[in-house]
Structure 1
Amino acid sequence: MTTTDMSEDKMLLPLFSEEDVGNIHKILGFSCLGSFAYRYYHLRNDGNFGPNHGTLVFLVHHFLLHVSSFIFALPKRRILSGYRIWPEARLHAMVFTCRSFAFMLLFFYEDTYRTPHHKPPLHWMNLVIILCTHASADAVSNLQEYPSRTIRDLQFPALWKWFFSTVQFVATGVCLVGARRYNPHLNFIFVIQFNAFLMTLRRRDVASHTVLVYAYAIILIVGVAITIADDMNSHLMHSSACLGIAAAMLRLNLGVNKFVLWTGMSFAVHQLRQADLLKSTAYWAVAHALSWAGAMALGYYKTSLDTKSFTAKAKAV
């Protein structure tokens, strides 16, 4: 056996666990990677999703991957110094993946039973799914013995954490406007499930905390880019992102209640849709670019203030 073979064995060995009887989770994991590869190969055709059995197979397949992750025992308390998965994060991953599953099922229903009969999309369901998701996530956190904020408690540069949080709001903005496209939700599912894999790699000590968080940042940026690029098909991504960033600023700066926030944003989206003002124009594209610039500038300002305040307190001790 060569030195290279031995090093590869050392890398792979931590990925195998006695808890995964029959390697069910690993089989599902690798087959899900193949599933993602197939869907991304057909990205121009909305991942070949639609009113077909393959869409339902995708949903069941990726749901089972989440379910199988519960065979692994995790420490109850989050280890803040490492990018490791913990029970609350595992449940939150399930909740937010199910949000995209719910939207894809909604699109499947509309494509099968409403669109052929020229009936309009059920846009009111967008808000229902979002509010149910947040209520479920809050319930999960409230039931935890050792709750932890996924982004806020992450040991990483503050401006990066600000960016991560803003992207989460952009994703919800995309859900709220509700372009009837499967691609954005494919991206959301990939980011969530691959991030859980990255956390598992850290738990198995395969890679360092910093390397894996930067890997998460990269897939997040790529996911956002692919989602926004889908605007050429839906013509709704620029407005979706703008509204998501606006929601982020209201929540992160003013602490507006999330349920009040998204209900209010839903009313705004309804008014814009009624006036046919959601479709992408040069104005929305410019507003989108300016929104990101403003959000990150504000994030830099706020995180700089927090750093200075922390430094001043440390010196006073």
Structure 2
Amino acid sequence: MAAAADVPVSRYTADSHNSPRSVSSKMAHLITHHDPFHIHKILGVLVLLHYIYRFYLVFQTGTAFPASESPLRAICGVILHGLLSWSSLLLPLPTRRNFAKPMIWPEFRLHSILFASRHVFSAILSLAHLWPKSNVGNLFARASIILGTVNLASIITQNYGCHVKRTTNSMPYPENVTPEQQLAIRRLYTTAQFGATVTCFMNDASMNFAPLLGIQMAPLLMTLVRKGKISTGMYHRVYATSLSLGYLMIFARLGMLFQKDGSDFDEDISLDTVAYTYRALVLFSLPFSRSRNYISAKTFWTGATLLATVVYPTMMHYFFDDVGVDGKTTMSTNDESLAMATYVVRKIIALFFVVTMTKHVCTYAPLFGNPTIPAAAKNNAATKESPIKSGNMGALDSLIDMIWRFLRNDFGTAAR
């Protein structure tokens, strides 16, 4: 939810501290006359309740938008999130960024509106079943949303921000968080941003909706920091938690896809479910690609769009002649290859879940009072060297290696 500054922009000057009513005292009030008819705050409350409802549904039923729910009702709920972001334009903001604390500024607000709108629009298209069915149409639609967002974000940065001091790399942190820990946290924040974009490749409203929590939680927390209600440390703790909750929603959705085709978890899995889940896992691995460190965002997402809309469907047609753009097929569920594919995908989901959530816990631990990270992680962060290549593995890397060994042995046993 977007920030609500409660004094005019003209008063955010050095002289304002000399006035009888200082800026800090005015900022202490959450409810002010700068929000006409309290539109923004009412929308904020409705959106918070809507988040709670959708998260309850996804953990209870496996989807944030059950088939039994009216599409119109679901779409109206999603539209609330778009209205909340856009209503933030009614509120005044300081023209300059405060680098001492995580507070909202014009560039961030516009980026927040842009990214939230991307997910609102994608979720509406999924709920209304309006994504194009053809490869060409699908390519055009995804490129328009994803690359269009990248271009608009660049324009916003050129006019309101700085290419050097970006939102993530210039964010202040609590004093107890070391530079090495800050670097790890920033990288995970950036990975979450890339992961959010990946959800726009999916024809699933739950996937499209999941990143909205982190996107709209950040400006709310920045507002509370400006009002003096929470500290910088609390901002990071709640924001990191909101990002992790988004991942939990995605994994819950992927895992429970296998239950919707039959009452037995191990039987009656259709190929379209396996194909859909495999595509999701492939796409969600993109943010971890080292290639994004050497190419521009436009180039990266152009390649990702081609992969999701052209390469993937082509490969599926090659391996399974009856599979369509959305993975639809009439292939028998007793096929041995389908059984093996189902087994592999389930293992990959489990691997992704364990690795991702373990990484979140280890990386965000300093924000919650754990002042230390493994010495190996510190050394590798300073030298930017892979712990596996250097032979100096930290706790997280050891866990990942153990999981890979388990999966390799398990797959070998299944194959024999």
**Is contact 1:49-1:55 (8 Å) kept?**
no
Q: CA deviation at 1:303?
A: 3.9
Q: How many residues align?
A: 285
Matches within 5 A, 1:201-212: 201-212=224-235
1:305 aligned residue (383, 386, 391): 383
Cα deviation, 1:234-272, whole Å, max 9, x if unaligned, reads 5143222212322xx2223x2x01111111223333323
- Using a 3 Å threshold, how does the CA distance of structure 1 residues 145 and 104 change in structure 2: closer, same or farther? closer
**Is contact 1:241-1:288 (8 Å) kept?**
no
Q: Secondary structure at the match of 1:230?
A: helix
Counterpart residue identity of residue 262, structure 1? W
Q: Structure 1 unaligned runs (5+)?
A: 1-9, 307-317
Q: Which residue of 1 aligns with 2:168?
A: 151
- Using a 3 Å threshold, how does the CA distance of structure 1 residues 48 and 225 change in structure 2: closer, same or farther? closer
Q: Which residue of 2 aligns with 1:166?
A: 191
Cα deviation, 1:136-165, whole Å, max 9, x if unaligned, reads 111111111667411011123111001111
**Is contact 2:199-2:208 (8 Å) kept?**
no
Matches within 5 A, 1:208-223: 208-223=231-246
Q: Which residue of 2 aligns with 1:3?
A: none
1:47 aligned residue (64, 69, 81): 64
**Is contact 1:227-1:237 (8 Å) kept?**
no
Q: Which residue of 2 aligns with 1:80?
A: 99
Q: CA deviation at 1:96?
A: 0.5
- Using a 3 Å threshold, how does the CA distance of structure 1 residues 229 and 301 change in structure 2: closer, same or farther? farther
Q: Distance in 2 between matches of 1:153 and 1:132?
A: 25
Q: Which residue of 2 aligns with 1:312?
A: none
Q: Which residue of 1 aligns with 2:35?
A: 20
Normalization by structure 1: what TM-score? Answer: 0.78
Q: Which residue of 2 aligns with 1:4?
A: none
Q: Which residue of 2 aligns with 1:57?
A: 76
- Using a 3 Å threshold, how does the CA distance of structure 1 residues 284 and 274 change in structure 2: closer, same or farther? farther
- Using a 3 Å threshold, how does the CA distance of structure 1 residues 87 and 299 change in structure 2: closer, same or farther? farther
Q: Distance in 2 between matches of 1:41 and 1:145?
A: 37
Q: Distance in 1 between matches of 2:196 and 2:223?
A: 24
Counterpart residue identity of residue 65, structure 2? N
Q: Structure 2 unaligned runs (5+)?
A: 1-24, 174-181, 258-275, 320-326, 328-340, 364-373, 385-416
**Is contact 1:77-1:146 (8 Å) kept?**
no
Q: Distance in 2 between matches of 1:289 and 1:83?
A: 30
**Is contact 1:242-1:287 (8 Å) kept?**
no
Q: Which residue of 1 aligns with 2:345?
A: 281
Matches within 5 A, 1:129-208: 129-144=145-160, 148-156=165-173, 157-175=182-200, 178-208=201-231
Matches within 5 A, 1:68-147: 68-110=87-129, 123-124=138-139, 125-144=141-160
**Is contact 2:65-2:206 (8 Å) kept?**
no
- Using a 3 Å threshold, how does the CA distance of structure 1 residues 213 and 47 change in structure 2: closer, same or farther? same
Counterpart residue identity of residue 29, structure 1? G
**Is contact 1:32-1:61 (8 Å) kept?**
yes
Q: Which residue of 1 aligns with 2:286?
A: 243
Counterpart residue identity of residue 195, structure 2? V
Counterpart residue identity of residue 292, structure 2? R
- Using a 3 Å threshold, how does the CA distance of structure 1 residues 289 and 227 change in structure 2: closer, same or farther? closer
Aligned CA RMSD, in angstroms, stands at 3.3
Q: CA deviation at 1:205?
A: 0.8
Q: CA deviation at 1:283?
A: 7.0
**Is contact 2:251-2:349 (8 Å) kept?**
no
Taking every aligned residue pair, what percent have the same amino acid on both sides? 22
Q: Which stretch has the larger CA shift, 13-22 or 292-301? A: 292-301
